[in-house]
Structure 1
Amino acid sequence: MEWTGARYADKPTVEVRTWIDAPPARVWAVVSDISSMPAMSEELQRVEWLDGADGPAVGARFVGHSRHEAFGEWSTTSHVIECEPERVLAWTVQDPADPSAIWRFRLRPENGGTELSEWMQLGPGRSGLSAAIDRMPEKEQKIVFVRLREFERSIATTLAHIKKRAEA
């Protein structure tokens, strides 16, 4: 029997949720401060707003500098595509018309606190993962599966940091 995991072209996604004992405004203050995200991530090393932006707004851009043991170091430009304070913050990585990834935080008031989810989609545009798939096309589904599991662990860690900061 052949394993039929997701392929990159399927635009696979991962999402992790947590409940935070803090109002959406306090959670938003942490989530929307993207310059603090490297302290909550093993992969993301540094972030800088571009074009004079100093916070999220639709159309704002930022550069993220990342590092991964298998992929080395790289930088990407992201474009904010959704920004509703205390509700949602989303951005595309690289070309907004053909992004290498889409990331989204959603906040929802729940039980006197906030349900926070972080979601991401791979592709459809090319990324560092595309080069690995090009080298080993027969392993595409495994490569995608492993990367999604890495993102799932990383997102869970980020959400735990956000929770700790927002509840402090």
Structure 2
Amino acid sequence: MGVTFKGQPVTLAGQQVKVGDVAKDFKVLANNMSEVTLADSKGSVRLISVVPSVDTGVCDAQTRRFNEEAAKLDNVKVLTVSVDLPFAQARWCGAAGVDNVQTLSDHRDLSFGTAFGVAINELRLLARAVFVVDSSDVVTYVEYVNEVTDHPNYEAAIEAVKAAK
């Protein structure tokens, strides 16, 4: 599957995940600079929203949309991962009033980006994607958005979250 950024093909590092795969662990940073791994949320369904930068229009809209949906979901953790610095993510969340999703920074190691096959080699950004990981760490939904500047399929992701256990 080819991914483009503003119409130009990009190369993604890491192995893309598929439905049925066991999700690989990763280390990212929370807004307070503490390390966060996938294992930290084991036992919950995880909706992982991947954006290049929360400071852009589509990423802003995506994060706000999943923040609204998160308020309606039980036993679901909504994680937004980007390469923005944790300080920038915290500032953006405060300004946007986003408090139902956990923003996580992959800036340090691109650990998440390579584990899930979304690290863009040419730009050191993450490609837009959405993953649902069930409480047993099995990937139940995958969407790699073909054009990084396009929106994901919000409805399909929310339905996948509701179907996951």
- Normalised to the residue count of structure 2, the TM-score between the two structures is 0.29
More helix by share: 1
Rg larger for: 1
Structure with the higher strand share, 1 or 2: 1
